[in-house]
Amino acid sequence: MVSQLEAFVRALSRLLGWIYTFCWSASFYPQPIDNYRRKATTGLAIDFPTINVLGFVCYTVYTGAFLYSPVVRRQYAARHPLSEEPTVRFNDFAFALHAVILSFLVYTQFWPSIWGFKISRFQRVSKPIAGLFWGSLAAVAVVVCIVLAKSSDGGYEPLTWAWIDVIYALSYVKLVITVVKYVPQAWVNYKRKSTRGWSIVQILLDLTGGVLSLVQLVLDSAFQNDWGGFTGNPIKFLLSNVTIFFDLVFVIQHYILYRDAEDSDKGNPDVYSPLLRSNDVANV
């Protein structure tokens, strides 16, 4: 009976994992498709894809390390003796790698020399986002230096400063980016009193994925009888909750606050400006 229950929970966890991976992965397509159909990126804050690329690069390294690095896996087992095995799954890594590619694709759509899309003269990477970009890289570099300086064996002893802490640092960079990246877009929607240009389909898929990811983590931790799965994989737990919160904000904006909003872009020369040269767009 126990073995059947174990097999069922494991199968359900894998199923949920691949479903939310599909939802999250699919959520990256509506926005670039919408941009392509409109031949414009207006309505989409350039801060979002810019910082998204860095965030998912960090997440890819994070998930890849927990799946394929013997050093990181050994250090995790030493710090979490009850669970031993990380709650990171292959679908997490597959999603992260796919997200890097699609996020970069959306970022390139702000370059008229590549796509020829209309962009606004206001669509420039903001100073706070640029600061976050370079500050995140600097923070990870500082953690690497601490590991090398504080560890007696170059970061391999798991119970002191170790390489797993660098991986955790990458995960926290991803978390901070996830919290921050939605704010410019929510602000753009508020200022324009419209969500046009910001695909609601991607938000609905993103919301579904966030809920299922959280359910999978609960199942895995409950099955292992060790809620250290949350502390051992904090990025997955926090990302799900942050994603759900902001997706609900966008759902409220689209279906309640601005549902009757007309196309605020029409007739506004600052929004539908003539095509700009690629070097007119501020980039990190």
Mean pLDDT within 82-89:
75
- Euclidean distance between CA atoms 115 and 135, whole angstroms: 30
Return the minimum-mean-pLDDT range out of 6-10, 20-24, 101-105, 180-184.
Answer: 6-10
Q: pTM value?
A: 0.77
Residues 6+ apart with CB under 8 A from 194: 43, 258, 261, 262, 263, 264
Average pLDDT over residues 193-202: 92
Residue 3: partners with Cβ closer than 8 Å, 6 or more residues away: none
Using 50, 70 and 90 to split pLDDT, how confident is the model at 49?
A: very high
Q: Which comes out higher in pLDDT, residue 202 or 153?
A: 202
pLDDT band at 2 (very low <50, low <70, confident <90, very high): low
What pLDDT does residue 120 have?
75
CB atoms closer than 10 angstroms to residue 10? 13
Specify the range with the lowest mean pLDDT, choosing from 64-73, 87-96, 176-185, 222-231: 222-231
CA distance 222 to 266: 53
Q: How far is CA 147 from CA 150, 158, 224, 247, in A?
A: 5, 11, 30, 36
pLDDT greater than 80 at residue 279: no
Other beta carbons less than 10 A from residue 7's beta carbon = 10
